Amino acid sequence: MSAPVATAGSAVFPAHRLQAKQDTVDKVCGIVKKQLAVAEDTVVSGETKFADLGADSLDTVEIVMGLEEAFSITVDESSAQEIRTVEDAASLIDKLVTDKDS
Amino acid sequence: EVHVWYLCPDELNNQSQLNMYEELLSPSEREYADSMKATMLRKDVVLSRALLRTTLSRYTGCKIDPRSFEFKKNKFGKPEVLWPLDDSTAEQPLHFNISHTTSLIACGIAINAHIGIDVEEKKRNTTKNILSLARRYFTPSEVDSLAEISDSDAQRKEFLKLWTLKEAYVKALGMGFSGAPFSTFSIMLETSKGIRISKTSNASRPGYDHLSENWLFTLAELNSSHYMSVCIEDSSRSQAGPEDSPAPVGLKVWKTVPFVEDTLVSGTEAVKLIA
């Protein structure tokens, strides 16, 4: 059996992280767009990197705080540091929400 | 002593000059610049890499071409110079750190000392309430000192000063935000020894032994428009007793248009030391 191959257009997620729910991704996009005052015509999706939107560390911290408030979770610094894309944030949120509710 | 070289992206619009700067970048840096969809961000990447390379070159007596520098990341992702292994250039104890805002990119340089630098626009507004941000991320004593400020604009500015100082420390340590969470150390602004760091009880949890307090800080206002904090290792005072004040950090600042013009601005109105 051959190993899975990542091809352009597909994403290979680490085994421990499931793909984030679209609903969560959409909510994160909304919070991010608002925090960074993103222009109406700029597309923000799961793949969008925070760095690509010009977010600096203070922006990131405010976004994380906005996510904590919206989802009633707490994000510790080491998890926050791993977040590069909207998808990363959404996956983390889904996990924290699941942990919280279980 | 710390040297800082900065440029202002808004003032650099000459396309042939920008092309010249782009020429200095490595293939991977150029790829990274190209990956930026927004033109402004792309320009930012080009300028910050060009600033870094030209600045480093100055400190090798211009013997190393800006294009030649290679970089590696430490295990936490902090960039460092990868010195060539050939005999022609000895490894140099040159440390650097970069900070950007949309209107200013700064590169700090220190010899033989780890360095962190952070710059912020004075007029920057937060979307979250200042005290909420402080309660979530800062220490109780920092929250208290902010809460004492009744004027909201003054409070916001004080928050930004603390923010840049804390960022500069974390960047100097080079272990990322999680290596030194903001809640594990307090910045004390007005001690007799200048700005000092104090670990909080939070920091006595396992995993934070590396949080050291022997760091020197300098906080300045640049061009009346930005706060700039620089943090470097205090390696000088191993024998000093508690009564001795550390020598203040010698700070020299240049505004640069690489290859065109350099202006020493420290000692003028453009650089006002706050602490």
Residue range B121-177, pLDDT digits in tens: 999 999 999 999 999 999 999 999 999 999 999 999 999 999 999 999 999 999 887
Determine whether the interchain pair A62/B128 forms a contact, defined as Cβ–Cβ distance below 8 Å: yes
Predicted TM-score (pTM) of this structure: 0.88
Residue range B39-57, pLDDT digits in tens: 888 999 999 999 999 999 9
* HSE-up (13 A, CA, CB side) for residue B188: 12
Specify if A11 maps to a domain.
no
Specify if A93 maps to a domain.
yes
Terminal CA-CA length for chain A? 36
Query: DSSP letter string over chain A?
Result: -PPP---TT-----TT-PPPPHHHHHHHHHHHHHHTT--TT----TT-BTGGGT--HHHHHHHHHHHHHHHT----HHHHHH--BHHHHHHHHHHHHHHHH-
Contact A35/B at CB under 8 A: yes
- Which chain A positions have a beta carbon within 8 Å of B167's beta carbon? 57
> Domain total for chain A?
1
**Is residue A17 scored above 70 in pLDDT?**
no
Specify if A81 maps to a domain.
yes
Nearest to B228 by CA among B249, B204, B202, B258: B249
At A44, which CATH number? 1.10.1200.10
At B194, which CATH number? 3.90.470.20
Task: Calculate the average pLDDT of chain B.
Answer: 89
Residue range B167-206, pLDDT digits in tens: 999 999 998 878 888 999 999 988 877 888 888 887 777 7
**Is residue A2 scored above 70 in pLDDT?**
no
> Domain total for chain B?
1
Specify if A88 maps to a domain.
yes
- Decide which of B118 and B93 is more confident: B118
Q: Which domain holds residue A41?
A: 16-101
d(C-alpha B152, C-alpha B147), whole Å: 10
pLDDT band of A7, cuts 50, 70, 90: very low
Residue range A46-66, pLDDT digits in tens: 999 888 888 888 998 999 999
Average of pLDDT values for B208-236?
89
Catalytic residue, from A23, A26, A56, A59: name it.
A56
- Decide which of B219 and A38 is more confident: B219
Read off the tokens for B193: 């020894």
- Which chain A positions have a beta carbon within 8 Å of B102's beta carbon? 54
User: Is A52 among the residues known to form the active site?
Assistant: no
Determine whether the interchain pair B177/A62 forms a contact, defined as Cβ–Cβ distance below 8 Å: no
Q: Which domain holds residue B228?
A: 2-273
Nearest to A91 by CA among A7, A16, A41: A16
Contact B75/A at CB under 8 A: no
Residue B63 to chain A, least CA–CA distance (Å): 34
Terminal CA-CA length for chain B? 15
The predicted pLDDT at position A79 comes to 86
Q: Which chain B residue's Cα is nearest to A82?
A: B178
The predicted pLDDT at position B238 comes to 47
Specify if A48 maps to a domain.
yes
Specify if A49 maps to a domain.
yes
The predicted pLDDT at position A9 comes to 46
ipTM of the modeled complex = 0.82
Q: Which chain A residue's Cα is nearest to B101?
A: A56
